[in-house]
């Protein structure tokens, strides 16, 4: 097993900071730009029609943070891993710690838990599989590069996407790599990778060139490669059209969005576009009823009609507050911000229904499970909330 000492972790942290600074292009300010820099929106008082009630809270600690550290719920347990490799399993109902383990890995992806297997990717280029009962290691295999989003588990293969534009499938039983699909990366890309997901028996994942692929999980063969956005920018900066957020599938429509591009709905029967609207985002999409919810790169929350793409509402009172990807729960949309607030929006109108400051740290991920929300902050704390 590969381990990294404290000095190595510090060096990697500095390296990541430098790379992230170069790659977060949406915030670059160039010489000669005299426009006043816009700050985050101030919060105003709202009437709380809905209230978040904390059920439990557990902390994993988080000295460093790479990639998307998303908790996973499986068989009544919540699994979470931090970038220092500390993993825990807690009871979903009570929050009681069931087991924990220090893997000594520097983890860059967060984890997936499915088919009795925990999986994650490491900063030094490995995909790792653990037994979900106690965290004992089943196998680890080298990848072509690091990944920044969790793997997907088809029941026969673990599928992981790496920053070099490769999607690879590993035998779930022994970790042998059995296939890979390589895409050509543009000259400039954002620092991030799409999160592969499995639906209708296929793997779906997005790429830096503005496309989403539909892949057979057992062979890696491509059934369809669907363009969300065309590369039409005049400069290399303008041609960055990465698909980093998770698309969704509803009513046989694949709906995805890209940075500096579009949100598009594509009919999976024939691969033809149904509708398309302009947006720039790297966040996941969610659906609520007949609406698709997106958070753009200015942190404006937008709702589109699923069938037609018609813009239904915008909520710009959270502009530039470094929002999380949205989560859908009941008839609400939840987003977290950099000051530790969670905001509840009415999915039909976009109006505020509630707000709660749940942490002194920024909120990094929100996951909905049934009528509950799991909320993660930058300090590695996972909290479960009900909505009253």
Give per-10-residue mean pLDDT for the chain (388 aa). Answer: 44 43 41 62 95 95 78 96 94 97 91 96 94 97 91 94 90 96 64 79 82 88 80 62 82 89 88 90 93 96 96 97 96 98 98 97 95 95 96
Tell me if 78 is assigned to some domain.
Answer: yes
Range of the domain at 152: 62-182
Residue 66 lies in a domain: yes
Can you give the pLDDT at residue 190? 54
Give a yes or no: residue 221 inside a domain: no
Q: What is the pLDDT of residue 364?
A: 94
pLDDT value for 245: 83
- Residue 7 within any structural domain of the chain: no
| Distance separating alpha carbons of residues 13 and 232, to the nearest angstrom | 35
Q: Which of 198, 240, 204 is nearest to 225 (CA)?
A: 204
216 lies in a domain? no
Task: Give how many domains the chain has, as a whole number.
Answer: 1
The confidence score (pLDDT) of residue 77 equals 98
Strand order in the sheet with 311-315: 286-288, 291-295, 301-305, 311-315
Q: Identify whether 210 is part of a domain.
A: no
The tokens describing 186, both together, are 């543009």
Helix (H, G, I), strand (E, B) or coil at 12: helix
**Residue 97 placed within a domain:** yes
Residue with tokens 């520097």: 106
Sheet holding 381-387, edge to edge: 52-59, 381-387, 372-377, 363-369
- Report how far residue 212's alpha carbon sits from residue 261's, in angstroms, rounded to the nearest whole number: 13
- Closest to 60 in 3D by CA, of 82, 92, 85: 82
| Contact (CB, 8 A) for 333 and 302 | no
Q: Is residue 350 part of a domain?
A: no
CATH number for the domain including 116? 2.40.128.630
d(CA 378, CA 363) in angstroms, rounded, equals 6
Q: Is the dihedral of CA 266, 271, 274, 276 positive or negative?
A: positive
Please report, for residues 24, 114, 147, 148, 152, the alpha-carbon distance to residue 187 in angstroms, rounded to integers and kept in the order given: 15, 35, 19, 19, 27
pLDDT number for residue 293: 97
Residue 140 has a pLDDT of: 97
Tokens of 227: 């363009």
- Rounded Cα distance between 281 and 257, Å, is 7
């Amino acid at each position: 097993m590969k381990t990294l000492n404290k000095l190595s972790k510090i060096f990697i942290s500095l390296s990541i900071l430098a790379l992230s600074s170069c790659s977060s292009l949406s915030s670059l300010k160039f010489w000669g730009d005299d426009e006043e820099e816009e700050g985050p929106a101030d919060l105003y008082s709202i009437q709380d029609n809905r209230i978040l009630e904390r059920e439990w809270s557990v902390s994993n600690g988080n000295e460093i943070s790479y990639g998307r550290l998303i908790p996973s719920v499986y068989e009544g347990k919540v699994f979470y891993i931090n970038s220092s490799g500390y993993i825990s399993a807690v009871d979903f109902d009570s929050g009681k710690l069931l087991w924990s383990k220090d893997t000594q890995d520097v983890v860059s992806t967060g984890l997936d838990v499915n088919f009795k297997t925990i999986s994650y990717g490491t900063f030094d280029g490995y995909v790792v599989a653990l037994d979900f009962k106690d965290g004992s290691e089943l196998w680890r295999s080298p990848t072509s590069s690091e990944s920044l989003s969790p793997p997907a588990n088809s029941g026969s293969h673990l599928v992981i996407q790496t920053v070099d534009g490769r999607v690879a499938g590993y035998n779930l039983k022994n970790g042998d790599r059995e296939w890979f699909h390589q895409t050509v990366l543009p000259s400039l890309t954002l620092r991030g990778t799409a999160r592969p997901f499995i639906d209708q028996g296929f793997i779906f994942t997005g790429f830096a060139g503005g496309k989403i692929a539909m892949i057979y999980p057992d062979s890696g063969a491509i059934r369809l490669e669907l363009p969300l956005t065309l590369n039409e920018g005049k400069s290399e900066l303008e041609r960055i059209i990465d698909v980093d957020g998770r698309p969704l599938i509803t009513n046989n429509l694949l709906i995805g969005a890209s940075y500096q591009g579009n949100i598009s709905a594509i009919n999976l029967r024939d691969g033809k576009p149904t509708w398309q609207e302009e947006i720039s985002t790297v966040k996941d999409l969610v659906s609520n009823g007949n609406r698709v919810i997106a958070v753009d790169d200015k942190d404006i929350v937008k709702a589109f009609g699923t069938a037609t793409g018609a813009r239904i509402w915008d909520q710009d009172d959270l502009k530039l507050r470094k929002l999380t990807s949205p989560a859908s729960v009941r008839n609400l949309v939840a987003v977290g911000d950099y000051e530790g607030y969670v905001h509840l929006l009415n999915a039909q109108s976009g109006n505020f229904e509630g707000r709660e400051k749940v942490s002194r740290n920024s909120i990094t991920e929100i996951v909905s499970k049934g009528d509950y929300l799991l909320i993660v902050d930058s300090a590695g704390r996972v909290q479960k909330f009900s909505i009253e």
